[in-house]
Structure 1
Amino acid sequence: MRASVKASKHNVLDAIDKRIYGSFIEHLGRAVYEGIYEPGHPTANEEGFRQDVIEAINELNVPLVRYPGGNFVSGYNWEDGIGPKEDRPKRLDLAWKSVETNEVGLHEFMDWTELAKTEVNMAVNLGTRGVDAAKNIVEYCNHPGGTYWSDLRKENGRDEPYSIKTWCLGNEMDGPWQIGAKTADEYGRLATETAKAMKWVDDSIELVLCGSSGSKMPTFGEWEFTVLEHAYDYVDFLSLHLYWENFENDLSNYLAKSREMDHFIKDVVSICDAVKAKKGSGKKINLSFDEWNVWYHSKDADAKREPWDIAPPLLEDIYNFEDALLVGLGIITLLNNADRVKIACLAQLVNVIAPIMTVKDGEVWKQPTFYPFMQASNFGRGKVLTVQSESPTYDSKEFKDVPFVESTVIWNEDEQEIVIFAVNRSEKDAMPLDIKLDDFEGLSLIEATELADYDPKLTTEENHDAMAIKNNDSFKVEEAAVSGEIKPLSWNMVRLSYK
């Protein structure tokens, strides 16, 4: 069995929006408190932010972080998190049955983003609130001054506007678990009027409309069409959410689940374009896959927790090697849909279903999922090439004709590099991989690396150094042809330079 990939510089899918490597921090569990923020920790700065966590995040090179939720935002009053900390109220967070202290609010988080070298994808509350609160926070964050909310920002210590560009119009508003859940017509009307007001305050912002919470929702498809009929002219993106589980412990089917992501994307694109055609619009709606990840390991433990703690350890999935492979497959899928997926947020960043974990008063450590995301975010910049790929296939419980080898090819003109990411789903067979790159001269190998040779259930919880990216010495370059071998159950990266 062999796999092959062929690409040409004259066949470009689209440029990669760097926001496709976004992530997510919600006021949930230990993501904020004991995650990014822990006053008194040996590495904490004067504001209480852990510098060891910042260093790990900087390794991931995350360009965008969605905040402050998530389900949390549907009951959140953003004004609770401004002004003197001693005057801020403690609130019941109904979404996660916790107590929110509001010790970290808008200003603190924006200060943290500068340390993390990232921008914010700010969500507004369309569950318990609406137009007025949303337009006010845009004025507070983005207006230069001379008005009530912008001058209050200055009084609270920030003279220059934050100039937040990307905003989410609520979160999962179709879900019965959501505070203030709505029908498609209810949400479509509210989102439309909110979007109008927000853009009247600042017409430079981009807005993300809530799509279905998942492709298995009973209203999927109908929801997208209805909310877009209402809001199409006022928004820029439609959101998608997807989480993967492996309760059945079926590895071949589990690694095929990235196909579900691909189908989801293509279905939603078709709905967006159907509404565009119906409206006779010249505007294209792109996608924000602003929640995606593996999430199932912690669900039994979370169901047993008592409510109303401050920063309880919730959604703390301990990931293994097979989870890292599926995350890698998810990244490849997003890149191969980069013509329509412009924003994506791995949910989440620290402690909560996250690649980075912390110990209170102690160390920071990296989960297996850290490694494919790190390589993709740092080296997967530029343009995605449309590829002709061949691979042996298999059938799993849910999916047919699944390629053993899934890959993507990226052309980085700025660095004069070609980068190939590939995953071998086969549990037994190494796969020779032939890469043919037309119209690129003077190819030479920079590096070929792999995350491979690990038990699928291996974690890094006990031994934080149990997993690492290693060199793959099998790859060779001859003119425009590159060939090597990728191991069974492996994440791979090949970097090439050209003249």
Structure 2
Amino acid sequence: MRISVTVHRDLAVSRIDDRLYSAFIEHMGRAIYSGIYEPGHPQADANGFRQDVMRFVRELKIPAIRYPGGNFVSAYNWEDGIGPKESRPVRLDLAWRSKETNQVGINEFAIWAKDAGIDMMLAVNLGTRGLADARNFVEYVNHPGGTYWSDLRREHGVSEPYDVGMWCLGNEMDGPWQTGHKEAKEYGRLADETAKALRILAPKADLIVCGSSNDQMPTYPAWEREVLEECYDNVDYISLHKYFGNSSRDTLNYFAKVEETGRYIQAIAGTIDYVKAKKRSKKDVYICFDEWNVWYHNREEDSKRWRTWDWPEAPHLLEEDYNFEDALFVACLLNEFIRRSDRVRIACIAQLVNVIAPIRAERGGPAWRQTIYWPYQLASLHGRGQALRVGVDGPTYDSLVADDVSYLDVSAVHDDKEDVVTLFVVNRHLTESAELDIHLGGFGDVRLVDHRVMAGHDLRATNGPDKPDAITPQPGSGVGVEDGRVRGSLAALSYHVVRVAVASAR
């Protein structure tokens, strides 16, 4: 299978916002408790945070993290998580039918995020609460002092404000499952009034309004139009969510869902443009794809369990065992975000630890990196800079969700500070290798810097506590530079990160 790829320095998509490689963590299952926080664990620090998990988190170089939800936030009282721990109430979490001890709240999470080198993206409750509580939360978090809420933070031992610069205006408010679900116009009005108030308190913050929970919602994409018509000039981003799976065991159709995602992004980008034109606005609104991941392995079973269990504390929930096929899919999805980085500025893998997550941790036991950790890490490390347009000329296939899907999935990023072009490449063909020929136009001399590969694994193979490194990136071979072109053979069902030093040619 011969495939030609063309990339040119001057054909850029956009400068990638580093926040494209962000994450999400919710008070759900064991994401917080025995995920990042487990006092008494052999690897816990003085604050109770697991340092084995922290090491894996730091290696991802995550720019921002969305917290505390998620469905959880729509019935959450943020005040329950501040002040002396022994005085904090235990609450019933309506979203996941479990007990919330509130031993981790905003101040504890801020300690964790600072230690991890991650900026916080906080969500306010617009389900059971509203503008007044959102205003108080922002004042507690961001105001220097001299007011009731900011001085209360100082009493709690935090003298300096956190200056959080990203605020989510609720979560999945289009979903009937959401506590406090609202109709589009109703939510849009509330989001607009909340945004106006928060803008006074945090004038430079990015405000993120809820888009559709997924592109199969009956209200999609009218929801986005109706919401933005109410609040367009007072918000900066609209959120999208989408989860993926392969219950049918149709690998090629699974991989083609990346194309479906591209259509989703394109549709919402068009909706944004429509509202902007209708309002004669000069303002741009971008997309925050703040929940995405693979979720299907245990989804049906978990759905039955959590709806009937008797309010457990930090139960096992949505703990997916990701396989090699999932890693290839995640690599393709990250490529799509790079290719759409002119519209998608923020994206958050959901979630970070234990709950549909790249990192798993046993209570009292070890932590390990799942298969999907690696393409996420490699994109975060090397996918920063200028996204370049990619032309691919080669065989394609048709599937249930999309036709004319290229077997080779490619994105390209030019780090113009280091003069390195990174190519992220997935050969999706089930049996055939790809004989690859890449022309890098607009550059001078080209030199291979690094080649990492994930290949040769059974699609159902996983990592686990007894085999944490069964599937990891390895040094690649068979790819090199000839006559200024990147050439090589890529095995079937393989993922490659090829980095080449380039000299700018004028």
CA-to-aligned-CA distance 1:384-412 (integer Å, 9 cap, x gap): 01122222100122321111001011000
Paired letter, 1:432:
E
CA contact (8 A) 1:31 1:352 kept: yes
Q: Distance in 1 between matches of 2:163 and 2:494?
A: 41
Please point out which of 450, 454, 479 is paired with 2:457.
454
Q: What secondary structure sits across from 2:7 in the alignment?
A: strand
Specify the code of the residue in structure 1 equivalent to 2:326: D
CA distance in 2, matches of 1:41, 1:174: 39
Q: Which amino acid aligns with 2:441?
A: D
The separation in 1 between residues aligned to 2:467 and 2:61, in whole angstroms, is 24
Task: Report how far residue 479 of structure 1 moved.
Answer: 4.3
Matched, 1:8 2:8: yes
Structure 1's unaligned 5+ residue stretches are none
Q: How large is the RMSD of aligned CA atoms in angstroms?
A: 1.0
Q: Return the alpha-carbon distance in structure 1 between the equivalents of residues 379 and 48 of structure 2.
A: 30
Look up the match of 2:280.
280
| Corresponding residue of 1:38 | 38
Work out the CA distance in 1 between the residues paired with 2:475 and 2:189: 54
Work out whether 1:431 is the aligned partner of 2:440.
no
SS in 1 for 2:190: helix
Q: Which residue of 1 aligns with 2:289?
A: 289
TM-score, normalised relative to structure 1: 0.99
Q: Quote how far apart the aligned CAs of 1:446 are.
A: 0.7
Cα displacement (A) at 1:480 = 2.9
Alignment partner for residue 326 of structure 2, among 323, 328, 344?
Answer: 323
Provide the residue aligned with 2:155 in structure 1. 155
Q: Percent identity?
A: 49
- Deviation at residue 439 of structure 1 after TM alignment: 1.9
Structure 2 counterpart of 1:181:
181
Provide the rounded CA distance (Å) in 2 between the counterparts of 1:25 and 1:251: 28
Q: CA deviation at 1:172?
A: 0.3
CA contact (8 A) 1:122 1:166 kept: yes
- Please tell me whether residue 482 in structure 1 is matched to residue 486 in structure 2: yes
How far apart are residue 300 of structure 1 and its match? 3.3
Deviation at 1:70, TM superposition (A): 0.3
The farther-off stretch of 299-308 and 93-102 is 299-308
Query: Which of 377, 381, 386 is the matching residue for 2:380?
Result: 377
Aligned twin of 1:232: 232
CA contact (8 A) 2:165 2:202 kept: no
The one-letter code matched in structure 1 to 2:489 is E
Bigger CA drift: 18-27 or 137-146?
Answer: 137-146
Residue number in structure 1 paired with 2:49 = 49
Secondary structure, aligned partner of 1:442: strand
Look up the match of 1:133.
133
Whether contact under 8 Å (1:440, 1:480) holds in the other structure is: no
Q: Provide the residue aligned with 2:472 in structure 1.
A: 468
Deviations along 1:256-298, one digit per CA (max 9) or x if unpaired, are 1111111100000000000000011111110000000000112
**Letter paired with 1:463:** K
- Cα distance in 2 for partners of 1:326, 1:315 equals 19
Q: 2: distance between equivalents of 1:137 and 1:81?
A: 12
Give the partner amino acid of 2:499. Answer: R
CA distance in 1 between counterparts of 2:353 and 2:113 reads 14
Q: Distance in 1 between matches of 2:483 and 2:149?
A: 61
Aligned to 1:491: 495
Q: Is the 8 A contact 1:168 1:207 kept in 2?
A: yes
CA distance in 1, matches of 2:409, 2:152: 51
How much has 1:337 moved relative to structure 2? 0.2
Match of 2:346 in 1: 343
Structure 2 Cα separation of the partners of residues 439 and 464 of structure 1: 42
Q: Tell me which residue corresponds to 1:64.
A: 64
**In the TM superposition, what are the counterparts of 1:6-405 in structure 2 within 5 Å?**
6-302=6-302, 303-305=304-306, 306-405=309-408
Separation (CA, whole Å) in 2 of partners of 1:426 and 1:267: 28
> What is the CA–CA distance in structure 2 between the aligned matches of 1:142 and 1:344, rounded to whole Å?
24
- What is the aligned residue count? 499
DSSP 3-state at the match of 1:444: strand
How far is the alpha carbon of 1:498 from its aligned partner? 2.1
Asked whether the equivalents of residues 442 and 479 of structure 1 are also in contact (C-alpha less than 8 Å), the reply is no
**Deviations 1:47-95 (CA, angstroms, capped at 9, x unpaired):** 1000110000111111111000000000000011111101110000000
SS across alignment from 1:162: coil
Counterpart Cα distance in 2 of 1:88 and 1:408: 48
**1:410 lines up with 2:413 in the alignment:** yes
Paired amino acid for 1:185 = K
Ranges of 4+ aligned residues in structure 1 off by more than 3 Å: none
Q: CA offsets, 1:162-211, max 9 Å, x none? A: 00001100000000100000000110010000000011112111100100
